[in-house]
Amino acid sequence: MSIDYNILKDKKHIHFIGIGGSGMYPLAQILFAKGYNLSGSDNNPGDTLTAVMNMGIPVTLGHFAENIDGADLIVHSAAIMKDNPELVAAREKGIPTIERSILLGIVTSWFENAVCICGTHGKTTASSMLTQIFMKAGFDPTTVIGGKLELIGGSGRVGKSENMVCEACEYVDTFLKLSPDVAVILNIDEDHMEYFKTLDNLIASFRKFAEKTTKMLVVNGDDTNTMTAVKGLDKTTVTFGLSESNDYYASNISSEVCQESHSLITRFDIYHKGALLGNISIKIPGKHNVYNALAACSAALESGVDFKDVQSAMAEFKSASRRFDVLGIRNGVTIADDYAHHPAELEATLKAALSLGFNKVWAVFQPFTFSRTAMLLDDFARVLSLADRVVLTPIMGSREINTFGIDSKDLQAKLKNCTLLDTFEEVAEFIKQNAEKDDLVITLGCGDIYKAAKLML
């Protein structure tokens, strides 16, 4: 995959189409700090777009051909269609365009310690944890993550050091455009099969990503697919997990409920090559988050962070946005929100929720993409059945056309105690009428289901 690393040379005015996206905003921050003249456009107002405008970057609400006037490079997200009027105008005027992932790849090449974190699940949480550790340890990182982290007030920041934390997404091989110095692999599970087709292809893609690292691999030694991906590579490899055969491993895992917020504090001892380093405390539930914490701790320690800094940063870490967010309690009902959209993620989140001791756990799920829903229908039914009650919304198709003939009714038919509703307003009203004191209602999905949680509150 060829990338023109000199494409920014002599460029003065760069225009971002979709500048308010969580992946675009950090790149705008970085280039703005480098002194480039930026402009942007977006269809959706929101906090991120406001943050962009507060930086002094001119932004137009809506996509129009005249928005690119004066620009000598156009950056666009993958979600921007080819017939977008600004892209059409750029082609007509001969202005070069690059997709956001290409620009991110170029940016990662600028740093001596770019830690790129990939995996089917947990990327945003682990990236947020590592950012928090680097920040608290004074490592002043530049960060590009896929969710909002309270400590940095958004999804990215510009640092002045050679340290970078970058979330690396496998979708359509996007992460193969990055230049990782340290590659962290959290796990590999069947997802995006509409693109990869087979698990072997997916594993092969992660292997290509691992081959790109210049310094070190930090990988989940308990995950069979991950270990298959890195097997035989001539790279310095550090493993983490729950098994004592790993370089870094957790033991004595315990949880306690904070009665006031019904949140769960998880504690574990962390060992390095059999030697106890100390105890780690995190304010988010679930074994899956122990793995995320181990990944972040391992990458930080291998980057030279002192363990005491790791320990204190983790104790202060608050979950990234939409990662088991407890949004509030109304009339004794706890409302939470989570980004889980794959059966493995749903299972981990629901098991963590069920461990909190609520009267009933309500799963309010918005399926995302027709292909994933169709291919993993039985798995979705299996894991959602863990909840006491399930509420479904229509499938959010996103970038896809429904050639699968799939509908949320197909999932509803496989579940007991399941209600299908068309609108978020109906969902919120249904929860208001049926949820009871000491219940947990958790909205689930990577689309806009969080809006239903806000309506409930």
For this structure, is 451 an active site residue?
no
The values of phi and psi at residue 356, to 5°, are: -85, -10
| Long-range contacts of 345-350, Cβ-Cβ distance < 8 Å, separation of 24 or more | 345/121, 345/288, 346/380, 346/383, 346/384, 346/444, 347/383, 347/386, 348/121, 348/286, 348/287, 348/288, 349/286, 349/324, 349/442, 349/444, 350/383, 350/384, 350/386, 350/387, 350/442
For 205, what's the count of Cα atoms within 13 Å in the CB-facing half-sphere?
30
Residue bearing tokens 């794959």: 342
34 is known as an active-site residue: no
What is the DSSP track for 316-376? H--PPTTSSEEEEEETTEEEEEE---SHHHHHHHHHHHHTT--S-EEEEE--B-HHHHHHT
Catalytic residue among 48, 108, 120, 124: 124
Crossing angle (nearest 10°) for helices 343-354 and 377-384: 0
Q: Does residue 366 contact residue 449 with C-beta atoms inside 8 Å?
A: yes
Whole-angstrom distance, CA of residue 156 vs CA of residue 343: 28
Cα angle: 444, vertex 445, 447; to 5 degrees:
135
**Helix 287-302 with 123-136: angle, nearest 10 deg:** 40
Question: Which candidate, 172, 179, 173, 194, places its Cα nearest to that of 144?
Answer: 179
Return the biggest CA–CA distance within the chain. Answer: 63
User: What φ, ψ does residue 33 adopt, rounded to 5°?
Assistant: -65, -25
Torsion of the alpha carbons at 48, 52, 58 and 64, rounded to the nearest 10: -30
Residue 124 annotated among the catalytic residues of the structure: yes
Residue 133 to residues 58, 315, 327, 373, Cα–Cα distance (Å): 33, 10, 24, 36
The catalytically annotated residue of 86, 97, 120, 123 is 123
Say how far residue 285 (Cα) sits from the centre of its chain.
17
**Residue of 48, 136, 148, 167 with catalytic role:** 167
Active site residue ranges: 123-124, 167
